Amino acid sequence: MTYLLSAARVALGVLWLHEGYVKFHAGFGKADILLVADGAKSNNRIPGYFEFFAEHLLAPTAGLAGIVVPVIEVGLGVALILGAFTLPVALGSLFNLMTYWSSDQLVGQYPVMGALSAVLIACAAAASHLSVPAFLASRRAARTPEFADA
């Protein structure tokens, strides 16, 4: 089961890396964020809390958000692939996806990414057994001498 959960973690990481890569490659930025923020005003599928968020926080910081969004996606991808902080990163992944869904920005892979995030949240410890931090911890433990009580 550890192998399957680790594979799910890495798969989700690859999907996040892809999302960030696509945004970087396409020149994602301020205009894209403003399009989402402006769309929140006229789309009746957008919940009120996201409309408020878009108007009062997203639109005024669109330039910064246009840079931060792909950086967050790449960061999520790298952390998941490495297996670093699996539970908080999986929670961040699901939160990020919920933000996208709230803004009515649903693409085909998001439901899969949401399901993988939920699985990782439920099984974070097992999903982290095969990870770079676990490997480094085992190497450190192997080098640390055991001292018997005198």
Q: Is residue 38 part of a domain?
A: no
For residue 120, what are the domain limits?
Answer: 2-27+68-141
* Rounded distance between C-alpha atoms, residue 113 and residue 41, angstroms: 27
Tokens of 16: 């996040």
Number of domains forming the structure of the chain = 1
Reported as a single tens digit per residue, the pLDDT across 22-65 is 999 999 999 999 999 999 988 999 999 999 999 999 999 999 99
Q: Report the candidate in 63, 75, 79, 77 with the shortest Cα–Cα distance to residue 28.
A: 63
- Residue 150: inside a domain: no
Residue 34 lies in a domain: no
Q: Does 45 map to a domain?
A: no
pLDDT for position 108: 85
Question: pLDDT tens for residues 85-142?
Answer: 999 999 999 999 999 999 998 788 999 999 999 999 999 999 999 999 999 998 888 8
129 domain-assigned:
yes
Note the pLDDT of residue 106: 78
Residue 136 lies in a domain: yes
CA distance 54 to 47: 11
Task: Confirm whether 53 is domain-assigned.
Answer: no
Q: Are 33 and 58 in contact (CB under 8 A)?
A: yes
Domain assignment present for residue 72? The answer is: yes
pTM: 0.89
CA distances from 10 to 34, 74, 112, 120 (A): 32, 13, 13, 11
